Amino acid sequence: MIKWLEDNTPKMVLAPSFIAVLIFVYGFIAWTAWVSLTRSRLLPKYEIEGFIQYDRLFASPRWDTAFTNLFIFGILFIVIAMILGLLLAILLDQNIRTEGALRTIYLYPMALSMIVTGTAWKWILNPGLGLEATVRGWGYENFTFDWLVNPDMAIYTIVIAAIWQSSGFVMALFLAGLRSVDGEIIKAAQVDGIPTWRVYTAIIIPSMAPIFLSAFIVLSHLAIKSFDLVIALTGGGPGYATDLPATYMYAMAFSRGDIGQAASSAMIMMMVVFTIVVPYLYSELRSKDG
Amino acid sequence: MKSYVTGAVSALAIAASSAAIAGPEAEVLHYWTSGGEAKSVAVLQKEFADNGGTWTDMPVAGGGGDAAMTALRARVLSGNAPTAVQLKGPAIQEWYEEGVLADISAVAEANGWADVLPASIAGHMKCEGTWCAAPVNVHRVDWIWANAEVLKANDIAMPTTWDEFNAAASTLQAAGIIPLAHGGQSWQDATVFEAVALGILGADGFRKAFVDLDKDTLTSDGMIAVFDQMRTMRGFVDPNFSGRDWNLATAMVMNGEAAFQIMGDWAKGEFMAAGKVPGEDFLCMSTPGEGFLYNVDSFAMFAVDGDEKKQGQDLLAKLVVGKNFQEVFNLNKGSIPARTDVALDKFDSCAILSSEDMAASSAGGSLLPSYAHGMALRGAQAGAITDVVTAHFNSDMSSADAVQQLATAVANSM
């Protein structure tokens, strides 16, 4: 009996969460996939009708905008946040005196919710209240910074706010990575007279590859699920110029009673996530086997 | 564990049996949660209790009713629908098609609803010939509000055609006043758009375009003219309008920063709350053109089990359309009664104008449902139109392109 318990306790302890994940993650993914193939409107229906919802989705100019925005936002956000985070980490790594205080300051935006970030930046970027009005108040009458209300540029304001929020976190990741690099190698390089920038580009950064990968995975899922920031900062506007797939799905499911359409957009979002996560998982699993 | 379960079951049994002795019961799901609205619902609650009923309040705030609809969906799917739900327009028929609405024809016929409600509004309350909902109020959507002092100082009369409006707006712009206070949210863009469309297309054209979704009307020259006027109006709003809430736009008219606002009569509530007097401080008039766009709030009655609940439903339906409630509620809410035989002595001049116009346009066949406020079309179609309207208003899209997109979007939403 005791032997049996010893053998099976881990399985029993894990079973509930395993079943919960099975139902609430994979079960619901399957359910959404099913609904996306039906003509569901207000309530889900289960008669399969084929790919009509996907046809409608790709014929919709609004989805087009939302999907393009995901790539503009995602790529700029991930690349700039990583570069900025790395630079901040390298600068903080120079044994400066106030490192503790500075680190806290840069990390602090991460403690705010996206709603707060969005609302604060909404006021900062509002041409009549924020930056533009302030600079004009200083006497530069021709200063214009109206990205928030310009449909062509509004998506970049979301990038700015998201980078402000997340680059401190990326910095913390990279800082931990920098500290974990073997000090002996760096000292050896310095003895050989190799300039500092070469030490970074040739030794430290390449040895941080796993950190880059984790930062990339964390940032890309932040980008794909972005919802609250858009709602707080622009509300999807002007027009629907800053819609993202997540806000599109919300509008279809909850405002317009078009559940089939919402389900098909959710499936596309999931496929985007898979194209990023599957190669990562694959490489992780393979390197462990090998 | 076991005794806990038995205890819980017996507690439920007691709750159920004590409920059985009570009189009419109603569980009401609504999203009237802001100050004036909550006060209006309290009126109904009190009246319900005075008639021996037990009211279970289920207010769900947020998202202009989106959150309430999500709650409703969950309740219906679990087979436990509320007695009455604040629903409006084609959404009532959409729920009826899911087979979950009750028939309240007995109450409606006993109280002669067909005689006191305007025919087109009564039409929204019926599901395939039987009554399934009770109307609460009528909001007019096609209003233009103005700051009286600003108009007087610039020697401008309330515009009766869109050309007059454009001329007045140009004069005001030259005088350094924002001609049109507007908030760049898609539903506000749609509100202005439908007022313009009613003026330019006329009542028949409006009905063909936004009720019947007639493709020829959607792509007609008239519709191009509507988008042209929208482009002109875009020049009359301040550059900072994106994302502004409607009540902030109303405040701009109130303090003289802007001259006009096109918005439903909930804007009147803002003026009144600030102590402004209609006719003196601010002016109200229907937007240029013939017709009346209504936004009618109503309670849809859901199929429920049990005599108490059915009694409660009937009592609620009777009270909602009753004269007393229609008067008190609408005085609080700023709208006008849905029934046409309520004395309007206590109402302000804008409400009286609205009521007169409703009677006239009902007789003339130009009493029309508002598309922007979910009265004319189902969510998917109305949303598709709004997407095009807001995309056009917020970009440099040409009117011809907009009209093409409109037809494609409507076809795609089916």
DSSP symbols for A16-28: HHHHHHIIIIIIH
CA distance A77 to A117: 15
SS3 B101: strand
**pLDDT at B331 > cutoff 60:** yes
Query: What tokens were used for B183?
Result: 């908030």
**pLDDT at A130 > cutoff 90:** no
Residue that has been written with the tokens 């709750």 in this structure: B15
Q: What percentage of residues in chain B have a pLDDT greater than 90?
A: 57
Bridge partners (DSSP) listed for residue B294: B140, B369
Chain A residue whose CA is closest to B391 = A239
- Please say whether the beta carbons of B361 and B195 come within 8 A: no
A126 closest CB neighbour out of B98, B240, B387? B240
Chain A residue whose CA is closest to B414 = A56
Residue ranges of the domains in chain A? 53-289
CA distance B183 to B180: 10
> Which residues in chain B touch residue A43, judged by CB atoms under 8 angstroms apart?
73, 76-77, 98
The CA distance from A218 to the nearest CA of chain B, in Å, is: 30
The CATH classification number of A53-289 equals 1.10.3720.10
Count CB-CB contacts under 10 A for residue A126: 19
What was the pLDDT predicted at A148? 87
A127 closest CB neighbour out of B73, B240, B405? B240
What was the pLDDT predicted at A85? 93
Q: What percentage of residues in chain A have a pLDDT greater than 90?
A: 36
Query: What tokens were used for A267?
Result: 């499936």
**pLDDT at B325 > cutoff 50:** yes
CA distance A57 to A265: 7
The CATH classification number of B143-293+366-412 equals 3.40.190.10
A239 closest CB neighbour out of B390, B405, B408? B390
What was the pLDDT predicted at B333? 82
Q: How does DSSP assign A74-134, residue by residue?
A: HHHHHHHHHHHHHHHHHHHTTT-TTHHHHHHHHHGGGGS-HHHHHHHHHHHH-TTTSHHHH
Query: What tokens were used for B130?
Result: 């039987």
Q: Which of B95, B240, B392, B401 to mutate to test the interface with A (most CBs of A within 10 A)?
A: B240
Helical axes A209-224 vs A61-92, angle rounded to 10°: 150
Residue that has been written with the tokens 């959409």 in this structure: B94
Looking at the predicted complex, does its ipTM rise above 0.90?
Answer: no
What was the pLDDT predicted at B13? 45
DSSP single-letter state for residue B334 = S
What was the pLDDT predicted at B22? 61
> Which residues in chain B touch residue A240, judged by CB atoms under 8 angstroms apart?
186, 387, 390-391
Q: Encode pLDDT of B262-321 as tens digits.
A: 999 888 888 888 888 988 999 999 999 889 999 999 999 999 888 888 889 999 999 999
What was the pLDDT predicted at A120? 92
What is the CATH T-level fold of the domain B25-138+295-353, as seen in this structure? D-Maltodextrin-Binding Protein; domain 2 (3.40.190)
What was the pLDDT predicted at A4? 87
**pLDDT at A74 > cutoff 50:** yes
SS3 A146: coil
Residue ranges of the domains in chain B? 25-138+295-353, 143-293+366-412
The CA distance from B253 to the nearest CA of chain A, in Å, is: 17
Contacts of A170 (CB under 8 A, 6+ apart): A81, A82, A84, A85, A86, A89, A215, A219
What was the pLDDT predicted at A77? 95
Q: Encode pLDDT of B6-20 as tens digits.
A: 444 444 444 444 444
> Which residues in chain B touch residue A59, judged by CB atoms under 8 angstroms apart?
408, 412
What mean pLDDT do residues B122-148 have? Answer: 92
What was the pLDDT predicted at A288? 61
- Please say whether the beta carbons of A272 and A159 come within 8 A: no
Under an 8 A CB cutoff, do A151 and B394 touch?
yes
What was the pLDDT predicted at B69? 87
Q: Encode pLDDT of A227-278 as tens digits.
A: 999 999 988 878 889 999 999 999 898 888 889 999 999 999 999 888 887 8
The more confident residue out of A200 and A27 is A27
The more confident residue out of A157 and A130 is A157
Under an 8 A CB cutoff, do A257 and B379 touch?
yes
Chain B residue whose CA is closest to A258 = B380
What mean pLDDT do residues B149-154 have? Answer: 92
What are the distances in angstroms from CA B15 to CA B75, B83, B336? Answer: 20, 18, 40
What was the pLDDT predicted at A150? 86
In the sheet that holds B143-147, the strands lie side by side as B178-180, B258-262, B143-147, B282-286
What mean pLDDT do residues B51-80 have? Answer: 85
Chain B residue whose CA is closest to A127 = B240
Q: Encode pLDDT of A203-217 as tens digits.
A: 888 888 888 888 988
Q: Encode pLDDT of B68-119 as tens digits.
A: 888 898 898 888 899 999 998 898 998 998 889 999 999 999 999 999 999 9
Q: Which of B85, B242, B412 to mutate to test the interface with A (most CBs of A within 10 A)?
A: B242
**pLDDT at A44 > cutoff 90:** no
Q: Which of A68, A152, A255 to mutate to test the interface with B (most CBs of B within 10 A)?
A: A255
pLDDT band at B34 (very low <50, low <70, confident <90, very high): confident
Chain A residue whose CA is closest to B241 = A149
Q: Encode pLDDT of B359-391 as tens digits.
A: 999 888 899 999 999 899 888 899 999 999 999
What mean pLDDT do residues B46-59 have? Answer: 90
The CA distance from B243 to the nearest CA of chain A, in Å, is: 7
> Which residues in chain A touch residue B189, judged by CB atoms under 8 angstroms apart?
239
The CA distance from B67 to the nearest CA of chain A, in Å, is: 8
What was the pLDDT predicted at B12? 45
**pLDDT at A133 > cutoff 80:** yes
The pTM for the full model equals 0.85
